[in-house]
Structure 1
Amino acid sequence: MSISHFTALIWLAFLVVVALIALGYVLVQRGRHKHMLRFSNMELLEKVAPSRPSPLRHVPIALMLVGLVLLTIAAAGPTSVQKVPRNRATVMLVMDVSLSMEATDVAPSRIQVAKKAGKEFVDGLPTGLNIGFVTFAGTASVMVSPTTNHESVKAAIDNVKLAERTATGEGILTALQAIETLASVLGGGQEPPPARIVLMSDGKQTVPSFDDVDNPRHEFVAARLAKTKNVPISTISFGTSWGSVEIPREDGSSEKVPVAVDDDAMRELARLSGGDFYTAASAQELTKVYDTLEEQIGFELTRGDASRPWLLLGMLLVAAGIVTGLLYRQRLP
């Protein structure tokens, strides 16, 4: 039972009344003791009064006083910071499925780890939150439109296929379009539901050329557009700097091609969109990143009423004091 604030602080003044009751009880007990000592017939006193009264006789009043303290705290309206699911938000999971995801620098392979962690990420989000799934290689595709059916998203993650090239900008633009479509369908609000893109990639954009920064399909242009639409992008740079893949040649041989991650591009994407940048060079790191995103995206911290536990415990203690008094002394304290 935690407390961070009271909504009716004045009720705590009743603690003074509780303290006075406790003081009054102590004074009454002392008065009884003095009255017994003034008894003139000591032989009769020893017969009618025990020499050492049991301290258990104070248990009923102690329980009721503690119960009153807890009820007073409940009356003061305690509040606490609580984690509340965001059931109105939309999350678009955008995954790079270019051939570089076959690299085995992250065992057993980048794509296998990405699929497993992606499904765990979906599982950790509130059931009422809309989740969509977009994949991109040379082009981008909406595998699942934003939906509360999280199982369909997990099934789509299981069935991703790798392809050539990397069109990161296309992936972002496709996700933004899916978010806008859902917002237009939902309607009913002055503002669209809050949305976030979670983009995981292991390499630099190749379509269009990374140097063609004025192309409307460029990833940086798409990130700036996301910023204007108030859709931050959380980017995850996944893989290592020494990753490589085997590319088959026409003569039947293969060529080892390095596929190092591009942290700089992913960091800039996040900055331009107003989002956050993360790196993950292993399965454990990727899972940790997704766990962090679950807390940021799926839940919000709000101040809520916390009086119920104090109220219930206070009632139980007062009731216990009354019952103890009746059982032990056949009367109330």
Structure 2
Amino acid sequence: MADFHFIRPWFLLAIVPVAIVLYGMFRQRGGKNAWEGVMDAHLFKHLEVGKGGGQRWRPIHVLSVVWVLSVIGLAGPTWQKQGSPFAEEQAGVVVVMKLSGSMEATDVQPSRLERAKFKMRDLIEARAGASHALIVYSGSAHLVMPLTKDGKILNSMAEGLSPAVMPTEGDALVEALKQAEVLLREAGVPGSVMVMADAVDPSQVAELAEVDKALPVEFWAIQPARSPVDKGLEEAARSRGADVQVMTDGREDVEIMSKVARSALLSVEGNDGSEIWQDAGYLCLPVIVLLSGFWIRRGWQ
């Protein structure tokens, strides 16, 4: 119970007017009944509800409990967390894919670019129901698809991509990251960026500071599994406090990057995960409903 607290503690202030009203009712109840002045005492004691018959629980007592329980329920007592069923679906991952000539290298089959598309498809499948977007870059950056939960459309749009569709050759990684930052901000959802590239121009590393540091950026090296990682890519990842995940022949890298995307979401939300405090106020409802049923009894209204 060390974690016990109220989600909406300001509702506890409602105890004050409740206490005042109940105090007045008890005080009035404890005073002399007006009927005692118009009938004989030996008759009155047999007619008054709750006196002489052994009744301990009166309407005012039950009303007190109902009111207090209602205030506690509204304040939202809680002591444990639960996973949010919607957090993963609301989170967005913006895939930033390099589309320069070097991605056509065939040191991985069928090519680095095609393998990147395959990995993106696997990632979308692993995060089924979540939102994804795609930005490609070379000498300039371009939005291919905004955030969508329809992975089939995104994969279809990626199919026809090649370096030939880019207006200029180069490495505009910073421009692509800025576009991703704007995309997530305008969508109003938490999320992260996943860069799929074989290398990063060292000139881009110094400019990465221009991108919001709070934006989680992860790097996925599209290259042969046993080859050394590009130095520029390593420096870019280091500047963002991230690691470089090297592409594997199987799905190990996909599973890792899916978990990384989730971890990035938790970091953005500022709590220990997509977990939220479980509101236990609903536990008061059965008792409130049960006690309210007493008002159907004669004499309680």
TM-score normalized with structure 2 length: 0.51
C-alpha distance in 2 between matches for 1:169 and 1:90: 27
Shift of 1:304: 6.9
Give the aligned partner of residue 95 of structure 1. Answer: 97
- For 1:236, which of 220, 223, 226 is the aligned residue? 220
Q: What is the DSSP-based 3-state SS (H/G/I as helix, E as strand, rest coil) of the residue aligned with 2:171?
A: helix
Greater RCO (Cα-Cα under 8 Å, separation 6 or more): 1
C-alpha distance in 2 between matches for 1:102 and 1:67: 73
Shift of 1:195: 8.0
C-alpha distance in 2 between matches for 1:261 and 1:124: 35
Give the aligned partner of residue 286 of structure 2. Answer: 316
Shift of 1:315: 1.6
Residues 1:153 and 2:154 are matched in the alignment: yes
Give the aligned partner of residue 257 of structure 2. Answer: 289
C-alpha distance in 2 between matches for 1:120 and 1:182: 22
- For 1:300, which of 269, 291, 295 is the aligned residue? 269
User: Residues 119 and 157 of structure 1 are in contact (CA less than 8 Å); yes or no, is this contact kept in structure 2?
Assistant: no
Q: 1:194 to 1:115 in 2, by over 3 A?
A: closer
C-alpha distance in 2 between matches for 1:272 and 1:100: 27
Give the aligned partner of residue 234 of structure 2. Answer: 267
Q: 1:241 to 1:154 in 2, by over 3 A?
A: closer
Alignment root-mean-square deviation, CA: 5.5
Unaligned runs of 5+ residues in structure 1 are 15-65, 187-191, 206-217, 243-259
Residues 1:120 and 2:125 are matched in the alignment: yes
Shift of 1:227: 1.7
C-alpha distance in 1 between matches for 2:223 and 2:231: 14
Q: What is the DSSP-based 3-state SS (H/G/I as helix, E as strand, rest coil) of the residue aligned with 1:170?
A: coil
Give the aligned partner of residue 77 of structure 2. Answer: 78
One-letter identity of the residue aligned with 1:292 = V
C-alpha distance in 1 between matches for 2:181 and 2:11: 49
Give the aligned partner of residue 173 of structure 1. Answer: 174
1:225-282 CA-to-partner distances (Å, cap 9, x unmatched) read: 122232553112345444xxxxxxxxxxxxxxxxx25165433211224445434423
1:186-244 CA-to-partner distances (Å, cap 9, x unmatched) read: 6xxxxx9988542123x345xxxxxxxxxxxx3x33233122232553112345444xx
- Number of equivalent positions: 230
For residues 35-50 of structure 1, the aligned pairs below 5 Å read none
C-alpha distance in 1 between matches for 2:120 and 2:183: 25
Q: What is the DSSP-based 3-state SS (H/G/I as helix, E as strand, rest coil) of the residue aligned with 1:74?
A: helix
Greater fraction strand: 1
User: Residues 118 and 157 of structure 1 are in contact (CA less than 8 Å); yes or no, is this contact kept in structure 2?
Assistant: no
C-alpha distance in 2 between matches for 1:103 and 1:269: 23
One-letter identity of the residue aligned with 1:113 = F
User: Residues 95 and 195 of structure 2 are in contact (CA less than 8 Å); yes or no, is this contact kept in structure 1?
Assistant: yes
C-alpha distance in 2 between matches for 1:224 and 1:68: 62
Unaligned runs of 5+ residues in structure 2 are 16-64
C-alpha distance in 1 between matches for 2:278 and 2:191: 30
Give % identity: 16
Residues 1:278 and 2:260 are matched in the alignment: no
User: Residues 97 and 136 of structure 2 are in contact (CA less than 8 Å); yes or no, is this contact kept in structure 1?
Assistant: yes
1:156-195 CA-to-partner distances (Å, cap 9, x unmatched) read: 22333378xxx997141340463587699x6xxxxx9988
